[in-house]
Amino acid sequence: MMLAPGQDDAGRLDLWPNALIDELHGLLDIEAGLREVLLHSRHAAQLDGLAEVLDVEAGLGAILLAGGGGREEVPRPGREHAFPSIDAKERLALRQHPRVRTAHRLLTRALDHHHALGLDLHLARKLTCHVDRPQADRRRACVLAHQLVRHLHADRERADDLAQAIARCAGAGITAAHLAHALDHARELGLVLDLAHALERDLDGDLAGQLVRCLTRDLGGLHEGTRTLVAHTLAWVLAAIRDRLGREVALSQDTVCQFLDDFTTSDLRAVRLSDVELEGVRWSEAGTWWPDGVDVEHLRARSDVIGGGDGVWVIRSGAATVRDLAGH
């Protein structure tokens, strides 16, 4: 690109963009480029139009059923293969064993309690921020304090129920020390509830800041303490499974509930379900294969959807109604 030799530097810079554009016009086919862009645009528009007139899901369904066998034996990867040495029938039998079932329920209660205390600890920390800031919305602080009291009431009842359940199950690995820990936890939670009541009554008082900080500290300690309750109940479940099977099964807190409850990819067609309690079983419309005698619509009516509505359900409590779902 040549610029006039007699021009000053400013003039050369002014001419530079125009000269560059002229040379690019000589090298690039602008019209061809625009045609290619429009071609892609028209292609996308045509695909959108096809989506409006074609039932893609129906077409895929027809392809899958073209073999004439409907839901035939197609290997499906999933959670069923996480425990290859123990099939679905054996896992269902384990759920029925009294000791396994009792320990499993205790673990579920302990996990729920730990989760609830974690939410309440978060609520207490929010309340602390409102109490410590003079310019904070006092009305909002009153609402948070009332919510915290209500939640802690429920937590105290849950802790009492868990301690009583542990007392009823004494033996088979559950010792007096375990029961004492659960009772201490429930009593200490009652003291935290007393603090919450005092704070709710005196949010504008001189002691409000001290009260909310003591409450948050003690609630944090109780939340950590529930990890011990969870660890105890997990050990009872694993011991019950080991004694029933006669061998160790490598399970953790994250996998034991999956092992006992998750049948979302299980073939249950050969399992007699008439005497099986299915409360808490997770199943899926696409992955669980039920015996012919099971009314899936009836089963769905007695289940709650989980997992964001992706076809996964959990069967609600009520063993008598659940047994009616299976053929005899």
Confidence (pLDDT) at 243: 92
Instruction: List the one residue out of 178, 118, 183, 189 whose CA is nearest residue 156.
Output: 189
Residues in a beta bridge with 313: 283, 305
Range(s) of the chain covered by CATH 1.20.120: 93-248
What integer pLDDT is reported at residue 242 of this predicted model? 93
- In the numeric block, the tokens 């003690």 are attached to 218
Q: Which of 168, 184, 162, 29 is nearest to 107 (CA)?
A: 162
Cβ atoms of residues 269 and 289 within 8 Å: yes
**Helix (H) / strand (E) containing 312:** strand 312-315
pTM, to two decimals: 0.69
Q: DSSP string spanning 92-140?
A: HHHHHSHHHHHHHHHHHHHHHHHHHHHHHHHHHHHHHHHHH-TTS-HHH
Instruction: Identify the architecture of domain 93-248 in CATH.
Output: Up-down Bundle (1.20)
The pLDDT assigned to 137 comes to: 73
- Low-confidence stretches of the chain (pLDDT < 70) are 1-84, 134-136, 172, 308-309, 318-328
CA distance 314 to 304: 5
Q: Is there a contact between 110 and 233 (Cβ–Cβ < 8 Å)? A: yes
Q: Cβ distance 295 to 116 under 8 Å?
A: no
CA 94/CA 240 separation, integer angstroms: 9
Q: How far apart are CA 147 and CA 293, in angstroms?
A: 47
Q: What amino acid is encoded at 241 in this protein?
A: I
Q: Is 313 helix (H, G, I), strand (E, B) or coil?
A: strand
The dihedral through the CA atoms of 22, 24, 29, 33 has a sign that is negative
pLDDT at 276: 82
